[in-house]
Amino acid sequence: MYLQALRLHGFKSFADNSTLRFEPGVTAIVGPNGCGKSNIADAIRWVLGEQSAKALRGGRMQDVIFEGADTRKAAQLCEIALLLTDCEKQLGSEFHEIEIMRRVHRDGQSEYFFNGQLCRLKDIQKLFMDTGVGRTSYSIMAQGQIDQILSSKPEERRAVFEEAAGITRYKSQRREAMQKLALTDQNLARVADVIGEVGRQIGSLRRQAAKAMRYRRLNHRLRRLALGWSGFHHAQLTATLGELDARVASLRAEAGARRAHLEAQEAAHADKKAHRSRLNQRVQDAQQAVFDLRSQKEAAENAANLAQIRRRGLEDRLVSSRDNLGELEMQLREVAAQVDTGAQDKQLQLELLGGSDAVFQQRNRELAIVDGELSRLEQELNQAKFQLLQLESTVARLRTDCSGYEVDQKTSAHQHASLARELEAVRQQQAAAAQVAAEVAARLEAALAEKSRTHQETVVAQQTIADLTREFREAQRKLQEVDRQLAQRTARLRLLQQLQEKWEGFGEGAKAVLQGRLDAALAGAKVVPIMQGLGVKPEFGKAIEAIFGAAAEAISVSDLATAQRILAQLEGEQIGSAVLRVAAVGRRTDGLPELPAGLTPAVHALADTAADHPAIGVVGECYIAEDLGRFLEFWHANPTFPFLAVATRKGDLVDRRGLVYGGHHGSKRAAHSIVQREIDLRETAKALVEDQKSHDEQRAAIDGLGARLAEAEQTLELRRADVLAASQTLAAAQAEQRNAQRNVDDVGARVSRMEAELVSVERARNEAHARWEQAQAGLARADVEATAQREKIHRIETRITEVRTDRDVKRESLAQARLELAERRQKVEVIDRGLGEMERRRQELGELLVQRQTEIEAWTEQMGELERESAAQRARAAQLAETFDVAREQVEKARVELVEVERGISALESAQHAVRDESEKAHEDLSAHEVKLAENRQRAQFLIEEVRREFQCDLGAIDWKHQLWHADDEPEGLKPLDLDDEDEAEVGAPLDGARASSSDAPTESTAPRRRRKAKTPKGEPSPADRAALEATDWTEISAEVDALRQRLNSMGAVNLVAIEEYAELKQRYDFLQNQVNDLTAAKAALIAAIDEINQTSQKQFGVTFEQIKKNFEYTFQTLFGGGRAQLELVEAADILESGIEIVAQPPGTKLKGITLLSGGQKTLTAVALLFALYMVKPSPFCLLDELDAPLDESNIGRFTDLLKKFVSESQFIIITHNKRTVSAADAIYGVTMEERGVSKTVSMRFNHERGEAEAHAPNIAESVVGAQAPGPAPVAVG
């Protein structure tokens, strides 16, 4: 594999698209300082992935983009493309050629491409890993990097050695494996935490999901029954609305006829108004015409004036142009004279240029003769050096072989001893691994026991929760009974209060007084029912009711006059009758007579009643008897006994007139009486207070049980966490046991493998000794032949030095002739530019002269046209003035006609009022019926909106029979889950069976717990089934709907999404358990992979390092002619992380550190290290950026000699100023700046067979020619 081409565009100083093509061998890049040579090295480093702008001599990555020059704008992006060929073997690629490209934009966006396809930096780094190519490898070495390599820390020098050893890929894989291992440990810990949390959530969600399923079934039945009830009543309202619609249609037709009459008159009125509008428009149009005529007349007068002004302006411009025409003719004559003078000067300079060119050609021929002689001598020298190089290569190869064989012997001995020690250590590890396996087995037994203990504690905690749950549900059942009773009493009290507020049971007259409709008769007097605030003992309710009779609805008034006014207004307005009691009339103050046994004053039946209460006077002479028969006997014996009425507790009554009321008294009548309502109000309020107290006590008991249950659940969660922890400990112990057993097996395998390696190392040591003896004999013969060849080279170099001196003198003379020739050519070019400028000036003056003549003719014609236009506009203005007077008379006539039309419209509007009154009366009748229709529609709409609000469906589309039929089906989309808390007896009995009352229905806490069986969905009802549903008892349906609402409310907050959450959480729990198993297996696999990578890397690096160490000693002594050099590991025990120390002592010195070396010595040491690496693993190509700058002539020779030995192994690209280095190149690239700030390349490739250079680009710059070293004679182009 080698570098075939490098394409640059917009990179640093390479503004234009430049392509450098390379061939195998050595390519030199030359050029003056600052022309951009090192930018080529930066480009290769950058395209291979360099991320440090500082390493590219910039502050940020955008600094590599061309920043512009004096005559060029800055580029918006730059891109570098690297083309490599013969890639199949080294890169393992299917492509023969690959192209790597990098692009960066001004906004910082960076892109990488592989064969035109977008890719990642990581892909490119992996591609070149372990090939010796990369931004940090030894394939690119600049002068400034020498100190960095030699002066850096020992740990930082490892990179180039690892690249040569081919373990960079292994280290990258190991680093990724370690990151994955750390991530796996984090994931295991995270998954364990999540499993613990999910396990705690599942228990709570399980109970919530069971409750949510019960709620959905109850809600489904409630929805079906409520929609059936609403659908039935909506159908009845729809029939009523049909009758009202027919009546409204009749009234609407009558109103329409009257409306038609009114519209006919309004149409006539509208015609009059339209005629008035047309007249108004005529007046406005006439006025607009008058205005337009006035505007046109003024515009014509202005146009005539403007034409006169423009004519005077053209006269002034015509005079100015005639004066300018004379000046132009004079300038044209002067320019013609200057052109004749310039032609004579040009002819003189051309004659002088011919003489200078002849001198230049003569001196160029003389220099060519000298260059030919020099090329012949240099070719002879190169052939001699080539022969010497072959001899030295043979000597170096034999010395390398000898050194290698010696190192192999030492290495084999060292490996033998190391393997013996390592074998003993591994045997000790085998014993230790067996002991560890026994300890792990003991920990496994302890983990099993701990898991069993925590499991038993969890069972006990679950039993405790079950007991507390039963107590909690029993308490909930009692609370629901209290809630139901409390709700019934509250509803009863609210109903009684509503009846009281509506004065139910009172006559129409009494209602009118109490509702404030007789305020005029009251005149501010206060009136109250006599039963208001009356406390009656419940056992005497019927007796007091009988005593009061019709007086129960009596109203107490303050005086007789008020009573008379009330009665008079009731009679006058025929409202109804009323019973009034005047507070100051009819009150007796006599004491109570002696009463017989069994007779009690009625006033004793009144409890908690004020003494001045109006009812006290009504019952003053009334009594309550235990037995009506005995009282009648008593009255018969004592006919003078004073009383108004005597009643019994059953409601029988006898009055002073001797009328006896008795028999059966129905409960319905008593329930609706005013007295009984007062009793019920008091008793219900008292019972409500007691029920509320009982409700609070039961709620406190439930809260206590709930707290205990929550505490028990928390204890259970802790026990479950202990079980999970014990399970994880057990799993870890089991994994540890497997690892320990695997370790025992691995150590046993290593013992067997190392015993076999000991035998192999002993055999290799014997073979190395035999090869060393053969290499020593060949080395002695090659040294004698190399000495004779060096003497011949010395003689040829002396003659070359003399010829070069003569050539330099002739070159200087040629340069002076070239300078004189260039000055002559420049003068001729200046005269040519002057003549061209004067010719262009003469042409411009001629064109301007013609233009002025044309303008004079055009302006003269325009003056005549403007004069004619002015006369025409004045005639048009006079004509418009006459038309204006006629239009003004037409406006006045139209205004008179408009006044007459206004009078007719006023008379027609007066006749419309009578017709409109009749139409409004018809509409009032229609509105009254429409109000009734709207009320019924509102009731129906209220029913529709209530259904839409509660159930989100359209009542008009509801089939109430369908809803009732499917009330017992399962809710849509509800799938039974595997839950122990599902309850089969949560939904009410089906409609077609016996229906239980709401008080007897099983509640959430009392129903037996058992697994629900899936119900079979009903089909659609048959005609017989639909007919049977017509006899539905809607009262019973309404009661069940109320009971279902109450039961749903009593369930409290319900998490409806708990069903889906439970299913998802259970699935997640199972998934996490599988994840733990997968992560544990992955962790074991990663540990095994890391161990294998470490073993392979350690072995490969150790072998390579020893080889580089031997090579470095050889290359150092070759470049310095002796001395001592050595590579040492700082920590030999840790071969994969140990730093590398460099020891370099040139001949005759004993320096303690490489930092004390001179600049040239450091360069040679770095070159020795570079070629030592190349001897082990040559890079496909190597770029050296002015690496030879610190070297003198003798060291340059050693450098180039050593370089030629590796040309067959690698491709070299050298940026240099040294002539001897250039002479070793097969091709030369020159970099120059013909345009300031913009680099340009030219190329030359040597043809050693023909002895001349082949130019690859036109116009080789002088700086390139001057930098060429002596060698085969180049042919300059241009």
Per-residue confidence band for 148, with pLDDT thresholds at 50, 70 and 90: low
Has residue 477 been placed in a domain? no
Q: Which of 757-761, 1094-1098, 1208-1212, 1261-1265 comes out lowest in average pLDDT? A: 1261-1265
Has residue 2 been placed in a domain? yes
- Is 70 exceeded by the pLDDT of residue 599? yes
| 88-109 mean pLDDT | 83
- Is 60 exceeded by the pLDDT of residue 591? no
Q: Are 549 and 618 in contact (CB under 8 A)?
A: no
Distance CA 308, CA 887 (A): 31
Which of 643, 671, 699 marks a domain boundary? 671
pLDDT in tens, 1174-1200: 777 777 888 888 878 888 887 888 888
Which residues on neighbouring strands pair with residue 623, listed in sequence order? 601, 646
Collapsing DSSP to helix, strand or coil, 1268 comes out as coil
- Alpha-carbon distance values, 604 to 43, 498, 599, 609, 675 (Å): 121, 29, 11, 10, 16
Q: Which of 152, 22, 14 is nearest to 72 (CA)?
A: 14
pLDDT in tens, 450-500: 888 888 888 888 888 888 888 877 887 787 788 777 777 787 777 777 776
Has residue 1277 been placed in a domain? yes
Q: How many domains does the chain have?
A: 2
- Which ranges constitute the DSSP H helices of 48-100? 88-91
* Beta strands 26-30 and 18-21, pairing class: unpaired
Collapsing DSSP to helix, strand or coil, 423 comes out as helix
Distance CA 1144, CA 1146 (A): 6
Assigned token pair, 480: 């629901």
Per-residue confidence band for 1167, with pLDDT thresholds at 50, 70 and 90: confident
Sign of CA pseudo-dihedral 735, 741, 744, 746? negative
Which residue type is seen at 1097?
A: S
Distance CA 200, CA 13 (A): 68
Q: Which of 1177, 1187, 1178 is nearest to 1210 (CA)?
A: 1178
Assigned token pair, 782: 């090659």
Which residue type is seen at 276?
A: R
* Beta strands 77-85 and 1140-1145, pairing class: unpaired
Q: At what angle do helices 158-165 and 168-501 cross, to 10 degrees?
A: 100
- Is 50 exceeded by the pLDDT of residue 340? yes
Instruction: Transcribe 990-1022 into DSSP letters.
Output: PTTSPPPPTTTS--TTTSPP-PPPPPPPP-PPP
- Is 70 exceeded by the pLDDT of residue 1123? yes
Has residue 988 been placed in a domain? no
Per-residue confidence band for 669, with pLDDT thresholds at 50, 70 and 90: very low
Say whether pTM exceeds 0.85.
Answer: no
Per-residue confidence band for 102, with pLDDT thresholds at 50, 70 and 90: very high
Q: Which of 803-812, 817-826, 867-876, 1000-1009 comes out lowest in average pLDDT? A: 1000-1009
Task: Please list, residue by residue across 28-64, b when 16 or more beta carbons sit within 10 angstroms of its beta carbon and e when fewer do.
Answer: bbbbbeebbbbbbbbbbbbbbbbeeeebbeeeebbeb
- Is 50 exceeded by the pLDDT of residue 988? no
Distance CA 725, CA 457 (A): 14
pLDDT in tens, 622-643: 888 888 788 888 888 888 888 8
Q: What order of strands is seen across the sheet that includes strand 117-119?
A: 18-21, 2-9, 77-85, 97-105, 110-114, 117-119
Has residue 754 been placed in a domain? no
Residue 998 makes CB contacts below 8 A (sequence gap 6+) with 484, 1039, 1040, 1042, 1043, 1046
- Is 80 exceeded by the pLDDT of residue 14? yes
Q: Are 957 and 233 in contact (CB under 8 A)?
A: no
* Beta strands 26-30 and 1211-1215, pairing class: parallel
**Rounded to the nearest 5 degrees, what angle is found at the Cα of 807, between the Cα atoms of 805 and 809?**
75
Q: Are 755 and 416 in contact (CB under 8 A)?
A: no
Per-residue confidence band for 1099, with pLDDT thresholds at 50, 70 and 90: confident
DSSP symbol at 1157:
S
Q: At what angle do helices 1058-1120 and 1159-1176 cross, to 10 degrees?
A: 120
Which residue type is seen at 990?
A: P
Q: Which of 1100, 378, 1168, 1198 is nearest to 793 (CA)?
A: 378
pLDDT in tens, 1212-1260: 898 988 888 888 888 888 898 888 888 888 876 555 444 444 444 333 3
Q: Are 1065 and 202 in contact (CB under 8 A)?
A: yes
Q: At what angle do helices 1193-1205 and 168-501 cross, to 10 degrees?
A: 80
- Alpha-carbon distance values, 637 to 332, 593, 599, 630, 643 (Å): 170, 15, 15, 11, 15
Q: What is the Cα Rg of the chain in Å?
A: 62
**Rounded to the nearest 5 degrees, what angle is found at the Cα of 234, between the Cα atoms of 229 and 236?**
105
Give the CATH number, domain containing residue 76.
3.40.50.300
Write down the pLDDT at residue 1255: 46
Per-residue confidence band for 163, with pLDDT thresholds at 50, 70 and 90: low
Rounded mean pLDDT of the chain?
76
Length of the chain: 1278
- Is 90 exceeded by the pLDDT of residue 1021? no
Write down the pLDDT at residue 989: 41
Residues above pLDDT 70, as percent of the chain: 85
Write down the pLDDT at residue 1006: 36
Distance CA 444, CA 579 (A): 99
Per-residue confidence band for 1011, with pLDDT thresholds at 50, 70 and 90: very low
Sign of CA pseudo-dihedral 754, 757, 762, 765? negative
Collapsing DSSP to helix, strand or coil, 646 comes out as strand
Q: At what angle do helices 1193-1205 and 1159-1176 cross, to 10 degrees?
A: 10
Distance CA 602, CA 546 (A): 11
Write down the pLDDT at residue 421: 79
Assigned token pair, 379: 């070719």
Write down the pLDDT at residue 132: 67
* Beta strands 528-529 and 140-142, pairing class: unpaired
Distance CA 1198, CA 1017 (A): 101
Distance CA 1140, CA 9 (A): 40
Q: Are 27 and 1229 in contact (CB under 8 A)?
A: yes
| 1066-1084 mean pLDDT | 82
Q: Are 1260 and 1275 in contact (CB under 8 A)?
A: no
Collapsing DSSP to helix, strand or coil, 21 comes out as strand
Write down the pLDDT at residue 164: 65
Which of 623, 647, 671 marks a domain boundary? 671
Q: Are 83 and 27 in contact (CB under 8 A)?
A: no
- Is 90 exceeded by the pLDDT of residue 896? no
Q: Which runs of E-coded beta strand occur in 507-665?
A: 528-529, 555-557, 580-582, 599-601, 622-625, 645-648, 653-655, 660-661
Domain housing 103 = 1-139+1184-1278
Write down the pLDDT at residue 666: 56
Which of 622, 640, 671 marks a domain boundary? 671
Assigned token pair, 1210: 């690698």
Has residue 630 been placed in a domain? yes
Of the two residues 615 and 817, the one the predictor is more confident about is 817
Write down the pLDDT at residue 1152: 64
Has residue 650 been placed in a domain? yes
Distance CA 562, CA 568 (A): 10
Has residue 59 been placed in a domain? yes
Collapsing DSSP to helix, strand or coil, 1144 comes out as strand
Collapsing DSSP to helix, strand or coil, 606 comes out as strand
Q: Which of 123-127, 551-555, 688-692, 1160-1164 comes out lowest in average pLDDT? A: 551-555
Q: Which of 168, 96, 121, 134 is nearest to 1182 (CA)?
A: 134
Distance CA 439, CA 744 (A): 13
| 1080-1086 mean pLDDT | 83
Task: Please list, residue by residue across 851-881, b when 16 or more beta carbons sit within 10 angstroms of its beta carbon and e when fewer do.
Answer: eeeeeeeeeeeeeeebeebbeebeeebeebe
Q: Which runs of E-coded beta strand occur in 10-128?
A: 18-21, 26-30, 77-85, 97-105, 110-114, 117-119
pLDDT in tens, 730-761: 777 777 777 788 788 877 887 787 877 777 77
Q: Are 363 and 740 in contact (CB under 8 A)?
A: no
